Structure 1
Amino acid sequence: MKFPVDLLADVSQAELQRLAHIYMNDLLYKNPDSPERLALPGSPEVSINITSVGFLPLYGSSDEHRILALFSPSDPLTAVALYLLDQWWTVEDILRTADPARDGALEVETTGERIVLYILNRVIYRTKEMSSDELPFLCHGENDHAKILWNDGEAVGFYSVKPSGSLCSASSDRRYQLPVMDSVFVRTCHRGKGFGVWMLEDFVLTYKDYYLGLKYPLSKSMYKVCDKYLRQYPGDADLLWEVESVGGPKQRTSISRKLQAMNLKSKSLTFTGDSVITEVTENKMEDIATQIGEPVSVDGTVEEVPALRMSKESCEAMASLLPLLSMLLGFLSVAQSQLRVFDLRATGLPADVFGTVKPDGYVKVFCGASTLGITSIRHNEVNPWWGEEFSNFSAQENDILRLEVHDSDLVFDDLLGVCQRQIKPGTNEHDCFLQEGGTIHYSYTLG
């Protein structure tokens, strides 16, 4: 049995959309009391009627290329099947292939492969497997460079890259100064099998530049992948860089050096109070002498209670531990301050692909792992301003302040861009270019 990615090798997106419109017109005149039904793996059947189907943009905010999707009544915002070549295909079948030659990390080229990439990113990752502390990937564009990792007849993950010299966004003339891996994902059921390292190896072999970038901020799991890769290939220690913006010389950090610093900090923090006490007790207690203290009455009798006195050598041993204890106390007493975020405003937010529908913008605000809140929606505003203020009383210097700018839509809200930066004491204000176009301005105080 062939699957969509096998059948759509020579089919255009325009043809798929034409067939979907014909099907929608037919559906309008079908008897709603006897709808078609589609069986889903491990779930009840879903009725197919005019209220349970709708078109989705295949490439994010662009409405030019759309696919017809079926939604479950239990989750009306998540597609469970797509209408392709005159039939419905479940999400699980869309991620399969019958072609044994489709194996390893393969370039996304055909319409069918673009649809697989969409399902992996927007359905599997964003709605099912993204953790609360992760930053969502932007939708992949029609011409984005991406590879899907195939294994044993299944799509198990993907990664995408902004090549050196490519535009940072449609509304900017800034260009990436090195190849940057801006998204990488392995499905949860396939983790722990080395696929993350496999894709990083493929990235290195595909782009043979002197420096390669990974988009800031890296997740904990991605740091682990980089650590495994650099242990396998220590000669590449100066190859991988964590980059912000376009990856200029001052916008990149050596991943190898960052991992070394993280490992040193981890080793420093492994000393606990118990371990310090145990070390002193086992090695030095034999040097402790005793002295008779003041008599104490117990049960009407007077007994002499021994008091402990440390020898000179023991005192010297304890003194030698004071720097370590001081360092530990320094780690445990990081100052916490109030963070206040205010004066959120944007300029030049993109309209739809036809330039006729203005965006309905709103902003989500995060600091570290904390969600600070969401602004109101500014309808039909290209240059919106939001009057809300957001606070966090446990913020620390160098925490990541993250702003996500979204365009509110009926089915899926479009992510227009993300702005993130380490916070510093005092009053600060910044402008940030958004990936889909436009700029957001914000101010904050920390202290």
Structure 2
Amino acid sequence: QLQLFEDEHPACTVLALHPPHDQTQLALYLHKKWWPLDDVLQTSSESRSGLQPVQSIMERLIVFLLSQVVEGPGSHGEVSFSLHPPTETCKVLWKDGQAVGFYTIKHKRLCDSWSSRCYLLPVLDTVLVRRRCRRRGFGLQILHDFCSSFSSEEFLGVSSPLSSGMVAIRKFLQQHEEHRVRLYEVEAPGGWNQRRNIWLNI
């Protein structure tokens, strides 16, 4: 059984089959039949193109598979992803009928479940692009979408520490001078003593 959310809330699990010691070769039991992993990460819907908000349990499952299974937690020296709480906004990036990545947002005034501290600005928390789809501009697309989604906010955050895979931030800020004073690397909950301007520290 795969547990989709942290703290088992809401309770939501999916049955999966995989060879011993290899969870990358999965079959999932959905809608009363078994599906290969690659089929679950595909869509025939023409409306699923570009960055689309996650709204259903099935879309949450896709985020789970991308972060916990497809790329493999901690593989290739990369950071392991935590399970995403249902309170976080998430968008999946679709390209040519395939889910190629996603990003999550901690919204302003969203309270941390551990410390009860509330975020003081919107924060880009998690970004993942599948390894085989990198170096194709998807990171820039995600950053542009995030900044555009909060055009009325004076300041925006990116969770600290910045991943080594987030080199797209430098390129993005080189191309978009208007965002250089807006984007900060932040620690929760994002007070001024917990922010560092990204452009000034590149």
TM bin, normalised by shorter chain, reads: over 0.9
Per-residue deviation, 1:79: 6.1
Cα deviation digits, residues 238-287 of structure 1 (max 9, x gap): 0110001211100010000011xxxxxxxxxxxxxxxxxxxxxxxxxxxx
User: Does the 8 Å CA contact 2:108/2:120 hold for their aligned counterparts?
Assistant: yes
Spell out the pairing of 1:338-417 with structure 2 (5 A cutoff): none
Amino acid paired to 1:218: L
**1:103 has 2:46 as partner:** no
With structure 1 as the length reference, what TM-score do the two structures score?
0.43
Q: Secondary structure in 2 aligned to 1:221?
A: coil
Amino acid paired to 2:80: P
Specify the alignment match of 1:151 in structure 2. 95
User: Does the 8 Å CA contact 1:81/1:88 hold for their aligned counterparts?
Assistant: yes
User: Does the 8 Å CA contact 2:186/2:194 hold for their aligned counterparts?
Assistant: yes
User: Does the 8 Å CA contact 2:41/2:99 hold for their aligned counterparts?
Assistant: yes
Pick aligned residue for 2:188 from 245, 254, 259: 245
Specify the alignment match of 1:65 in structure 2. 12
Spell out the pairing of 1:268-279 with structure 2 (5 A cutoff): none
Amino acid paired to 1:239: R
Specify the alignment match of 2:34 in structure 1. 88
Per-residue deviation, 1:142: 2.4
**Bigger relative contact order, structure 1 or 2 (CA pairs below 8 A, ≥6 apart):** 2
Pick aligned residue for 1:165 from 101, 105, 109: 109
Q: Secondary structure in 2 aligned to 1:126?
A: coil
Q: Secondary structure in 1 aligned to 2:121?
A: coil
Cα deviation digits, residues 330-352 of structure 1 (max 9, x gap): xxxxxxxxxxxxxxxxxxxxxxx
Specify the alignment match of 1:175 in structure 2. 118
Pick aligned residue for 1:196 from 117, 120, 139: 139
Task: State the alpha-carbon separation in 2 of the partners of residues 136 and 249 from structure 1.
Answer: 28
Specify the alignment match of 1:377 in structure 2. none
Q: Secondary structure in 1 aligned to 2:71?
A: helix
Q: 1:74 to 1:166 in 2, by over 3 A?
A: closer
Q: 1:73 to 1:153 in 2, by over 3 A?
A: same
Specify the alignment match of 2:161 in structure 1. 217
Per-residue deviation, 1:125: 2.6
Cα deviation digits, residues 138-167 of structure 1 (max 9, x gap): 101223210000011000000001000001
Task: State the alpha-carbon separation in 1 of the partners of residues 42 and 104 from structure 2.
Answer: 20
Give the number of aligned pairs: 200
**1:120 has 2:63 as partner:** no
Amino acid paired to 2:48: R
Amino acid paired to 1:100: E
Specify the alignment match of 1:141 in structure 2. 85
Per-residue deviation, 1:182: 0.9
Q: Secondary structure in 2 aligned to 1:253?
A: strand
Pick aligned residue for 1:229 from 156, 172, 181: 172
Q: Secondary structure in 2 aligned to 1:155?
A: strand
Q: 1:248 to 1:81 in 2, by over 3 A?
A: same
Q: Secondary structure in 2 aligned to 1:141?
A: coil
Task: State the alpha-carbon separation in 2 of the partners of residues 78 and 149 from structure 1.
Answer: 21
Per-residue deviation, 1:112: 1.3
Q: Secondary structure in 1 aligned to 2:76?
A: coil
Identical columns (%): 37
Kindly indicate which of the two structures has a greater share of residues assigned to strand.
Answer: 1
Q: What's the RMSD between the two structures over aligned residues?
A: 1.6
Task: State the alpha-carbon separation in 1 of the partners of residues 198 and 35 from structure 2.
Answer: 41
User: Does the 8 Å CA contact 1:165/1:177 hold for their aligned counterparts?
Assistant: yes
Task: State the alpha-carbon separation in 1 of the partners of residues 93 and 145 from structure 2.
Answer: 10
Per-residue deviation, 1:65: 1.2
Per-residue deviation, 1:221: 2.5
With structure 2 as the length reference, what TM-score do the two structures score?
0.93
User: Does the 8 Å CA contact 1:69/1:79 hold for their aligned counterparts?
Assistant: no
Task: State the alpha-carbon separation in 1 of the partners of residues 81 and 87 from structure 2.
Answer: 16
Per-residue deviation, 1:87: 0.7
Higher gyration radius (CA): 1
Task: State the alpha-carbon separation in 1 of the partners of residues 12 and 140 from structure 2.
Answer: 33
Q: Secondary structure in 1 aligned to 2:18?
A: strand
Pick aligned residue for 1:207 from 150, 155, 168: 150
